[in-house]
Every structure is written in C-alpha cells, then in structure tokens.
Structure 1
C-alpha cells in the first residue's frame, strides 16, 4: 500500500513535447498512407528550419543554444505548422511560416512560455492571407505520385489544375453559394466520401488516436477537447436540424478540415490558452463557435486558426473572471453591493 504524502515527479518540457510528437505519429501515418509521403518532406524541412531558427534566436538572446535541440518545443511547432498546410506547398512557404512562428511569435515575445498567441496559428493565418492560391492547392487522396509531390515541394512547375482539388469544406461552400444545390446534392460530388473529403477521413482518426494518448498520459485535460468538439457538434447540429438543405451535419464538420487536429493538439496549447477549468471550457467553446461561423458565412472555408487567435486575445479576461474560489474562504460581495 502506498501512503501519503504524494509527491509528483516534475514533468519536463522535453518529456511533454516528446509525447506530443509521439501522439502526432498516427495522424501522420494516416496522411502518408492515404494522401502521400510528400508531407514527410515538408516535415523534415520545417523541423530543420525550426531548430536552426530557435538556435539562432537563443544565441542572439545569449541563452543556452542546446535548448533548441533538447526541449523539442520548436519541433512541435514545426510539425503543427506543416500538418495545417497542404502537403505540396513549396519549400519556401513552409520555411517562411516556421520563421514567423519561431522568430516573430515565440522569441520576440520572450521565448518559451511567453507568447500570447499560438505560433502555428499565426503562421497559418499569415500564409493564407499572403498566399491564398498556394494554400488552397490540396491533392486528392491517393492520386498524386510521390515524385510529383516532391517536384512541387522543391519548386517544380505548378501547373496542377488537373491534379489538385478543393477541400471538402471549400467544395461544400462553393456548391451552396451557387444557390442551385442542397447540401445532400453537393455531398454526392467526387470530392466527398462517407463523412468528409474522400480519403481524407482517415487522417482525423489518426489524430483521435493521438489525442486519446495525450489524455491517457495526462499531457492534456478533457476540458478543451470536449468543449471544442461538443460546441462544434451542438451548433452545427442545431442548424442542420433546422435547415438540412443549407447546413452540413455535425459528422461532416467533425470529419473535415482541422477539427480533430485542433481539438487535441492546437486548442490545448498550454501557453496561449486559458488556464482555469471554466476558462478552458469557454476558450475552446468560443473557438468552435467562431470556426463554425467562418466555415458557413466567412470568406475562408476553414476558420479554426482565426478562432484560436481571437480567443487568445480573450485569455487574460477569461482567466481573471473564472478563478475558482479559494478553499476555506467565503466569497464576500464588494462594498456597496448587497
């Protein structure tokens, strides 16, 4: 029998980030099997760029440079940036995005643990605003050979209208805005599978497996994944039940875009997110609501990144207003109020 006192072993940044990288592996494997191995090339490019940028910034700030390699935080940021991007974006776009995340968002705010905004989401929003055409070139599942993907990544000719297609979210939005089809009719198109984008539906399952691993190892708590997925389900389900011809079902929203990647790996960022239990619920729920609104009414097919950044702004207020009551102390009303 184990008796008190109970002393927990300190959790290092290296161990935490290492487990996050392990948790991302199932989603990456699903991506490679169903979409192609091009994503591995951009993962390698982003990892090298992130570690080099981290080392350079630490040297300029006169901090121990070995941290850039040993704590793995830069590698996690690099992987998240890459997994949010189309797997055939040119190498220089990946490098630019990682530099924005590491240099501008992380180190100019003070380094690890100081950034108020999610670095990967700032990088995504910067690139989709600056290069919307390149960020919209997604390959269909299983139809683009690796040598073609490699050529596109390394700067080959990008005359690829015949070998890329719209994402499921973009195809649905375009079909509905044409005003001639219902959701059911649009979802019969070639871009769609049983739940979301044809072939892409397996990738979220990999992220779910990784997310469950993070929950089991207590790297993340249940609050943000449940609040994000629950809010997205409730909001999309309400409108789907009210107008099924105009709004997609909750299953579609959960199986497409970056919903599962966001729920377990992006929304749960411990630095830029809320820290109190109620604050976590409001933070993640707010992201899901904003993402759904942008998906259905905004100018971009995916709105998770914008939702994350908007809710990052609200984190100080959420943490201040949702502080739990101190045990053993009664809450006293302010003077002048009865």
Structure 2
C-alpha cells in the first residue's frame, strides 16, 4: 500500500480501485483503537494519557523531520494518519507509567528506522511499531517491564493531573507502585494457573500490564469493527488466535501443572491486540487468503513458543517481525497459478499426442 499524491498519475494497467482511501482507513483504525485506549487511560490514569500523547508526538515529529530532510511534501503525507496510528499502537504496547523519553524515543525509532529508511508508507519490510518495541525492550528492559497495578482515573489511589505529569517527567513509576506480576507471569515464574488472574479481570483489563493490551473486551470490540468494515482480512486473526489456542490446549492436556490453558494465552498479554491491529498491517502481510492464514498461524505458534520456552514472557513483537521477514517467501510459495502456467510461471507442458492422431 503506497501513498498517492495528486501530481502522480498511474502509468500502467491494470489498476485495482478500493472504496477507502488511506486516510479513511487510518481513521477507522483509530476509531477501533479508541475503546482500548480509553480503557487504558481510565485504568492507569494521567500518566497513561501522557504516554499516548508522547508516543504520537514522537512519531509525527519524526515523520515531519524525515520528510523535510528528503524534501518531500509534508501536508499530504502527515495528513494520511499513518504516523498517528503507529504512535498509538506503540503507546498501547508500553508500560502505562513510562518515563517521558521512552515513548518519544520509541516513536522516533519506529518512523525513522522502521518506515522512512525503507522509503515511507507501504515500503517498509517490518512492522514499525513492533520494531520499536523490540528495540526498547532490548535496550531498556527495566523501564519496559515496570508494570503498575491499575489505579482508575479519579479514584483516591490514582495520581492527580500534576502528580501524573511529575511521574512521567520524573522518570516513570515510583517504586512503591510497581508490580511485576502481570497476567503472563505464571508462564515464567510458576504459580497456580487456575487461581491466577480471574478471567473477568483479564477480560475487563483490571490487571497489571501494558497500557492498551489488558482489556480483552475493548480490543475485541475494536477488532470486530475492523473485520466488519473489511479493513482487515479475517484469516489472520482467526489463524493466529486459533493456532495459539490449539497449542495451549494441547500442552495443557499433556501437563496442566506446567502449561496453562488457552484462555490465559488469549486474554492475557498482546495476543488480541496483535491479531487485529498489528499482524493485519497489509504492508508486511501476504496478499493471498492462504498466505494470510499461514502468516497468522506462524505468528500464533511463535507467540506460544516464546511465551513458554523463550526468555521473554511476551513474544508478540518478535513473532510479528519474524513472520514479516517470511512474507516474501510465503507469497512466493502460495501465489495463484495463472491460467495455462505452472506456479513457477512456466507454461504448462503440452500433452503427448495419441497414436494415430
């Protein structure tokens, strides 16, 4: 998917015309992300809102700087909303009480290294938000895992506006508020899976975790909108969540004491956010229905492997980047066969003539 400017005319046919423009698609994605964003801000207070604003600001500022350096028009590219979507997705993957420099640095890295280095919108090989998330996680593991327990906005325990700004500008969460026990903690540190996080708490988001990935219901509401509007293909989320649930159920049957069931994997962590908003990025995903199903299944399998046996409790970002790199191979292996030709592109061999004809 490439950006279009009024002074650029198509030069070759055939052309496929979609009903939605890029700005319209981005606005729909932002609308779909609104429930999860609002839930995250409500649960984690003013510092979470500051994290969202700073991540979007970092992305938009980096986009403007890159366009200015490249002497490309600013207004049209900035108005398409892609930088805002990248910033919001990145913010939803960050700790809600992150220090001010973390979302700014991540947003700039996502746009400059993950997007503009490859040529801009539609040219990037890897998902920019996930590339930034991995870079931040590797470079600043302490800040990226400083979880806080939910403190709903305007509640007595929640920081006020000025206190929230002080937390953000002063370096992040205060030590007394930090809680390392996320919904996926039993995967790495052991524990009673059945009596761990209540399913209702996981569905509503009242558990420690990243800003926008704790509320499964809010994410499902936004994802359903994208699928219903045909903004994203259904094959990727169905294959991703189905594969993740299948593997979790299989290993749970083998050893329930060491492997939790599928509900913890589906409702905890970034699985739903990834299935509908990250893995469905059309730039890094295959173009055929079969290819999309393989792509989603691969991400689901990698998420389970990394969560269960890897060094990180959450494997979404790594899984997405690995499958982004495999997309050209998937497209090549499952590309449709043209009439009269093999899948390799060579003409079909002629049938041998029968005797006497």
TM-score range, shorter chain: 0.7 to 0.9
Q: Is the aligned partner of 1:98 residue 2:107?
A: yes
Q: Structure 2 CA distance, aligned partners of 1:73 and 1:208? A: 22
Alpha-carbon spacing, 1:286–1:61, altered in 2? closer, same or farther (3 Å):
same
Judged with a 3 Å threshold, the aligned counterparts in structure 2 of structure 1 residues 332 and 104 are, in CA distance, closer, same or farther, namely closer
TM-score by length of 2: 0.83
> What TM-score, normalized by structure 1, do the two folds share?
0.88
Compute the displacement of 1:40 (Å): 1.6
Counterpart pick for 2:28 among 3, 15, 19: 19
Segment of structure 1 superposing worse, 145-154 or 256-265: 145-154
Out of 142, 156, 159, the residue aligned to residue 145 of structure 1 is: 159
Task: Indicate which of 175, 193, 198 corresponds to 1:193.
Answer: 198
Task: Determine if the alignment matches structure 1 residue 313 to structure 2 residue 325.
Answer: yes
Question: Who is 1:154 aligned against?
Answer: 169
Shift of 1:157: 7.0
Q: Is the 8 A contact 1:231 1:288 kept in 2?
A: yes
- The change in CA–CA distance for 1:239 and 1:68 in structure 2 (over 3 A counts) is same
> Which of 316, 335, 343 in structure 2 is aligned with 1:304?
316
Aligned partner of residue 183 in structure 1, secondary structure: coil
Q: How does 1:54-69 map to 2 (within 5 A)?
A: 54-69=63-78
CA deviation map 1:103-162 (0-9, x unaligned): 1110011111000000000000000000001011111122543454432211257541x2
Say yes or no: does 1:276 pair with 2:288.
yes
Output the CA distance in 1 between the equivalents of 2:24 and 2:52: 20
* Aligned twin of 1:73: 82
Cα distance, 1:97 vs. partner?
Answer: 0.5
Q: C-alpha distance in 2, partners of 1:85/1:322?
A: 35
- CA deviation profile, 1:264-288 (whole Å, cap 9, x unmatched): 0001011111111111111111111
Residue of structure 2 in register with 1:4 after alignment: none
Q: List per-residue Cα deviations over 1:22-74 (Å, max 9, x = no partner).
A: 00001112212333342221111122221121111112112111034310000
Matches for 1:29-68 after TM superposition, within 5 Å: 29-68=38-77
- For structure 2, the residue ranges without an aligned partner over 5 or more in a row are 1-15, 152-156, 208-212, 352-357
Residue 173 of structure 1 and its aligned partner are, at CA, apart by 2.9
Q: How far is 1:261 from its partner?
A: 0.6
Q: For residues 280 and 198 of structure 2, what CA distance do their matches in structure 1 show?
A: 29
Structure 2 counterparts to residues 258-297 of structure 1, below 5 A: 258-297=270-309
Q: CA deviation at 1:91?
A: 1.0
Unaligned runs of 5+ in 1: 1-6
Q: 2:262 aligns with which of 250, 262, 281?
A: 250
Q: Within 2, Cα distance between the matches of 1:115 and 1:14?
A: 18
Q: RMSD of the TM alignment (CA)?
A: 2.4
Give the structure 2 partner of residue 3 of structure 1: none
Q: CA–CA distance in 2 between the matches of 1:72 and 1:215?
A: 20
CA distance in 2, matches of 1:71, 1:332: 37
Asked if the contact 1:169/1:295 (under 8 Å) is kept, the reply is: no
